[in-house]
Each structure stands twice: as C-alpha cells, then as structure tokens.
Amino acid sequence: MGSIVKYECENCGFKFTDKSLIFYLNEDKDEIVEESLTMKTSKKMDNSELAGYLYVGYCKNCDNFIKTYVPEINNTNLNEKEIYNLIPDLIGNDLKFNKILTFDFNKTSFQHRRKILLENNCPNCDNQMALLIDDLHPCPQCGEESVNAIETINIK
C-alpha cells in the first residue's frame, strides 16, 4: 500500500502533493507510465525492462516543478546515455522542466543517494534545488522550516 501526502508551508502557503511516483516502460516498450507506488504498480515496475522512481522537485528561480526520473531497473541493453535519450522520447517532451539522474542503486549507499537527491541543480537555470519536498526539509519556496503534512491518503 502507498500513500499520497499533501504538504503546505505555514510561512508562505506553498502547497505540494507527494504522490510517491514511480515510472516504468510499458509492455509495448513505446511509453513511459507514471503512477503512484502501490503493490500493483510495484509488480509492474519489477516486471518492466526499464523502471525507477520519479521525484517532483521545485525550482524557486524558475518558479516551476521539475520531474526527475531516476532509473533503478535496467534490464535492457541500453547504456546510461541511451536511457537519457530514450526517456524524453517516451514521455513525449524534451527535458525542459524534466531531468534524468542515473546512478547504480545497488552500488550507491542510502546516504549518498539522499545527498544526490538533496543537492541537485535545476536542468533549466542550473540553480540548486532539492528533489525532496516534505516536512523534514525546508520549504523550497521560502526556505523556512515550516512545511507540514496536512492530509495523508492511503492507496492500495
């Protein structure tokens, strides 16, 4: 079971909904599917040749949400550069307001992955932005430590 969490900053009113997103290559291998992580979608992810986590961050400078695709499963013959070129084609747009991070989940410690996700640059303006928006991190809009979960919805 997964959950969708709605956050709001008490200081500036910034709102964000964390849908615990994953992505995977569909069976026809012609589309990237984006869904919330549940038991059902976890199985689809595990059975896909290319899959991973999808983080939605916020760039204060661009005043835009940025999707970051982090492939975890690669059972294709594609290398990192080929994956980097394939994903934009399959999601139907260029990398404007999207980015792709590739690192080997099996060889990267949890702490190092966390650092990669927290210390990132926007693909559009190159300013620093965090990919994680939750009540454990400062508000991406105003920088205050006042982001709170205001609603949690459990999904199966």
The pLDDT score that the predictor gives to residue 8 is: 94
pLDDT tens digits for range 91-122: 876 555 677 777 666 677 777 777 777 778 88
d(CA 53, CA 122): 18
* Cβ atoms 97, 65 nearer than 8 A: yes
**CA 44 vs CA 54, 65, 111, 124: distances in Å:** 15, 26, 27, 31
The pLDDT score that the predictor gives to residue 74 is: 86
pLDDT tens digits for range 72-93: 888 888 888 888 888 888 887 6
* Cβ atoms 120, 45 nearer than 8 A: no
pLDDT tens digits for range 14-53: 999 999 999 999 999 899 999 999 989 999 999 999 999 9
The pLDDT score that the predictor gives to residue 23 is: 94
For 21, the enclosing helix (H) or strand (E) is: strand 21-25
pLDDT of 9 strictly over 80:
yes
Q: Using CA atoms in the order 78, 82, 83, 87, what is the torsion angle rounded to 10 degrees?
A: -130
d(CA 59, CA 121): 9
**CA 79 vs CA 58, 82, 98, 100, 103: distances in Å:** 28, 5, 19, 13, 11
Please report the DSSP string for 32-86 in residue order.
EEEEE--HHHHHHHHHSSEEEEEEEEEETTTTEEEEEEEEEEE-SS--HHHHHHH
The pLDDT score that the predictor gives to residue 2 is: 76
Q: What are phi and psi of 111, to 5 degrees?
A: -65, -40
Among 89, 70, 111, which Cα is nearest to 31's?
A: 89
Cα 39 to the center of its chain, rounded Å: 18
* Greater pLDDT, 55 or 115: 55
